[in-house]
Amino acid sequence: MTVRAAVAGASGYAGGEVLRLLLGHPDVRIGTLTAGQSAGMRLGQYQPHLLPLADRVLGDTTADELAGHDVVFLALPHGKSAKIAAELGEDTLVIDCGADHRLESAHAWLKWYGGDHAGTWPYGLPELPGGRDALKGTKRVAVPGCYPTVSSLALAPALANDLVEHEVVVVAVSGTSGAGKSLKPHLLGSEVMGSLSAYGVAGSHRHTPEITQNLSKAASSQVKVSFTPVLAPLPRGILATCSAALKPGRTLEDVLAAYAKAYDAEPFIHVLPSGTWPTTAAVLASNAVQLQVAVDPDVNRLVVVAAIDNLTKGTAGAAVQCMNVALGLPETAGLTTVGVAP
């Protein structure tokens, strides 16, 4: 089986990472590549690391250009995907790396993004309870945000197994590529290198409602999420420190058992051996999630630290993984748990 794939938004970071992975996918033939302002240019101008595609010319991001493929990856600014998906029709698998179809609540969409909600698509995190089944055979996938991916995977087993209270604190440190190629002063190299900064503090980051949605589902009841993202000087990687008060009577052993049950059979999620802690370097360019759990005895609090590559498992790797699940390909095809280090 050869899957014909198109990528819209091929000049950006998410689109580039989708292409990097598809170039190594045994079952995919890369078709049309499109862009916004960069249409008409060679891909090599924007993605010099994708040498085999360097001479491809970028088309316009329209349904006409993208038609005729088995799968279309959308790596677009939010608000753009619903219309294109509708025009592509129900036979095309559309995988949206953007935010448009992640939230289930139109009210939340309005509050956090503004405007009309485009509807909810199956959520592309197979490792959440029920997540994989919802993706099999689907023609629409909403790829999760990078922070929600790592935070939800870090805390879902504890919440699903009634081990912690329903108020969690997440501080997630991220590389800069999560912000995309937008030309903002605070993303300049001179500003980023040698500096740490918090942003979207006190629940003001748009990923907060998505984390809340995922964790509340896992807990089968409302979960309060205090989420703070921190920008650090590296291109890729998120390290999330997630904690919650342990419920009375629960122990570290209960926690370890819950995470083993949830993740031992997962190909991409690895609970590290006792005493070792995750680093983002170890998951660089891979689809792996490395995590570790601990209980702080003095405050009786569960602390989970998890690392992903925000562009791979946090975006493009998840997109490819979901394509594999949706099309019935081996879930790990074209993906790896081997990172690039040092």
Residues 6 or more apart whose CB falls under 8 angstroms from that of 54 comprise 42, 43, 44, 47, 48
Instruction: Select from 84, 97, 163, 225 the one that contacts a copy of itself (CB under 8 A).
Output: 225
The kind and range of the H/E element at 224 are strand 224-231
Q: Does 105 bind a copy of itself (CB under 8 A)?
A: no
Closer of 138 and 279 to a copy of itself (Cβ): 279
Region for 6 from its dihedrals, namely left if φ exceeds 0, alpha if ψ lies in -120 to 50, beta otherwise:
beta
Residues 236-255 interacting with a copy of itself (rule: CB under 8 A): 236-239, 241, 243, 245
In one letter, which amino acid is 179?
A
Q: What is the rounded CA–CA span in Å between residue 13 and residue 23?
A: 15
Q: Does 176 bind a copy of itself (CB under 8 A)?
A: yes
Residues 178-197 interacting with a copy of itself (rule: CB under 8 A): 179, 181, 183-185, 187-197
Instruction: Select from 133, 201, 220, 261 the one that contacts a copy of itself (CB under 8 A).
Output: 201
CB burial class (10 A; 0-12, 13-18, 19+) of residue 337? Answer: middle
Residues 312-341 interacting with a copy of itself (rule: CB under 8 A): 336-341
Q: Does 207 bind a copy of itself (CB under 8 A)?
A: no
Residues 265-294 interacting with a copy of itself (rule: CB under 8 A): 270, 272-273, 276-286, 288, 290, 292, 294
Please indicate whether residue 242 is annotated as part of the active site.
no
Q: Does 40 bind a copy of itself (CB under 8 A)?
A: no
**3-state SS, residue 99:** coil
Residues 6 or more apart whose CB falls under 8 angstroms from that of 166 comprise 159, 219, 221, 222, 223, 224, 244
Q: Does 171 bind a copy of itself (CB under 8 A)?
A: yes
Instruction: Select from 167, 220, 328, 330 the one that contacts a copy of itself (CB under 8 A).
Output: 167
Closer of 110 and 201 to a copy of itself (Cβ): 201
